[in-house]
Amino acid sequence: MTVNRRTYLALAASTLVAGCSFGSDGGSPTEEPSETPQKGDRNAGGSGPAPPAEIETVDHELYVEGEGDEASAYVVVELQNVTWESSGPIELTTAFFDADEESLDEVTNSLVGLDSGEVWEAYVPYVGEGAAVEDYEIDVSYDRRPSGGSDEGIELLDAELATTDYEASIAGKARNRRDGTIGYLEAHGKFYVDDLTVIASSWASVTDLAIDEAWTFDIVTARYGGWRDEISDVSVSFSDRPV
């Protein structure tokens, strides 16, 4: 039995979070974590089972641009894996409120997970009249360990990034090098703007992949009209179980 595998963080715009103090406008933190692992690092001096991942909220802020009917609103949230191990899937729910504290909308975003030291810079747009948005609240939940699926015997042959004004995609190819047919396989792609900052992930799946068969896949994510259009790199991982 797995206990406390899923962790929840509920945050308002003015909440004190993970040792970082935010102003009521969701501004920058006044204190950073004392030590942040770098991507791929591990605690070389440790022994025994690795501790589960922990995700901290580094920053979150509401932006309202323009005026009147032309105004748009969105929230940017930065979440970081501050431990030495990879996390499982992360889910971010953002609620938007008007001046009377009435709920306007609720939006859920997800990410396949964060490796050690990585940051998810999540962009959450409000679909409606942006001028009506006065406040927001975020709720974060995540699996502290990756899924139990295996990528053993999966050979990645190709993965190329392509971008348009509206989406980014990974065109890839993988081959089954196992001794038998793979009944189910997922390919998960993450989109980076630098070595540690992920802005989105998406996935594709296939069933009954025969021995030595090559699978051509496309992993597509929305770009929200070009926001953070400097996507510079991608990564691809596989799992023979749903993530």
Neighbour count for residue 133 (Cβ, 10 Å):
23
Q: Is residue 1 part of a domain?
A: no
CB 142 within 8 A of CB 10: no
Residue 136 to residue 60: CA distance in whole angstroms: 10
User: Can you tell me which residue has the tokens 């409606």?
Assistant: 128
In terms of domains, do 85 and 184 share one?
Answer: no
Q: Does 204 have pLDDT greater than 50?
A: yes
In terms of domains, do 109 and 166 share one?
Answer: no
Q: Does 19 have pLDDT greater than 70?
A: no
Q: Is residue 149 part of a domain?
A: no
Q: Identify the domain containing residue 189 by its residue range.
A: 154-239
The alpha carbons of the chain give a radius of gyration, in whole angstroms, of 19
In terms of domains, do 137 and 164 share one?
Answer: no
Per the structure, the count of domains in the chain is 2
Where a domain ends, among 111, 143, 175? 143
Where a domain ends, among 143, 168, 188? 143
Region at 195 (left for phi over 0; alpha for psi -120 to 50; beta for the rest): alpha
Nearest to 162 by CA among 223, 118, 212, 100: 223
In terms of domains, do 194 and 228 share one?
Answer: yes
- pTM of this structure: 0.81
pLDDT 10s digits, 83-131: 999 999 999 999 999 999 999 999 999 999 999 999 999 999 999 999 9
pLDDT 10s digits, 25-69: 444 443 444 455 655 554 444 556 678 999 999 999 999 999 988
Return the pLDDT at 42: 45
Q: Is residue 129 part of a domain?
A: yes
Q: Is residue 148 part of a domain?
A: no
